[in-house]
Amino acid sequence: MKRWDLLAVGRLGLDLYALEEAPKVTTRAFGAFVGGNPLNVAVGAARLGLKSALFSAVGDDAVGEFVLGRLAREGVDTRFVFTKPGRRTPAVVLFREGSTYPMTFYREAAADWALDLDDAAKVAVEEVRVLFVSGTALAREPSRSTVFALAERAKAADVPVYLDLDFRPSLWEDPRAYGLVLRSFLPLVRVAIGGEGEVRALRLRSVRLKAHQATEPEVEGDLEEAVMDVLGRGPEALVLKGGDRGAGVFFPDGKRLWREAFPVKPLTPLGAGDAFAAGLLWGRLRGRPWEEALLLGNACGAIVASRLGCGEFSPTAEEVATFLKERGIHVG
């Protein structure tokens, strides 16, 4: 019996989300939440009933105390969240202007990028069922080498590594390095997860940000070529997130599955992809086939898209069951 179902690796921080839909200059009210791709997945998994833990770091500051307190309240094991004196716990500020969501990352001297090999040595990765890695954890040293070392240990222990591509171009010193680094990491990965732009970015031709929309950059590249490249480097599956079109899974033998999204009225799309990943992992760790796991992921993503924030707005198993039942779907 493994000690944890899921160990998520990478960034965390404070999310300040505008509570009103208004121009930036007139926005006054913000909600304080926690966020970051691996944190959101860990919280989402815990809400679905999985035993989840996080490998990350906070600064010796009040924001770090806030984040750790929220994680404890959510039931996420933080024994592998280390404190880095002299470093800062990151933050994100998000505005809501019509149908756009301008976002700014504050990651100067980010604590999670200071994770090192000594920290990795303290992590019982052999005692987890799935190691979930955020691509952003590979953007800087010493975090990059630390994650490589942890993933090598996981693979040696037959612990599946799930990689969320998590492309945030502003968090790389040169966005072109993203593809180089992640392609070299893929042989350690059993399942890769990403949006179409994130997959294209593995063979990046160009990238453009509009209005500081750091979550959905416009990426030019050949999607089909990138998909085949991923699957040729070792992963057993590539899960492709298609937003409001749904999601699919691609296999090296050419087989493909696709599940349509659930139509909902979105409040913000942010965090929906992380909720999708949590739901997908929940399904796979319960032994569900890929088609059902995609269904559960889509349900979790749709629910969070209709709410304001990310991890702390993830659904419980009961909420997912109710959501599906209302649509005439029963999942055991």
Hey, which residues are catalytic here? 274
Write phi, then psi, for 147 (nearest 5 degrees): -70, -40
Nearest-angstrom CA–CA distance, 328 and 221: 39
Cβ-in-10-Å burial (0-12, 13-18, 19+) of 173 comes to exposed
Pairing of strands 247-250, 206-208: unpaired
Nearest-angstrom CA–CA distance, 209 and 30: 24
Cβ-in-10-Å burial (0-12, 13-18, 19+) of 121 comes to exposed
Please, what is the Cα angle at 196 between 191 and 198, to 5 degrees? 70
Residues with Cβ < 8 Å from 316, sequence gap 6 or more?
47, 48, 49
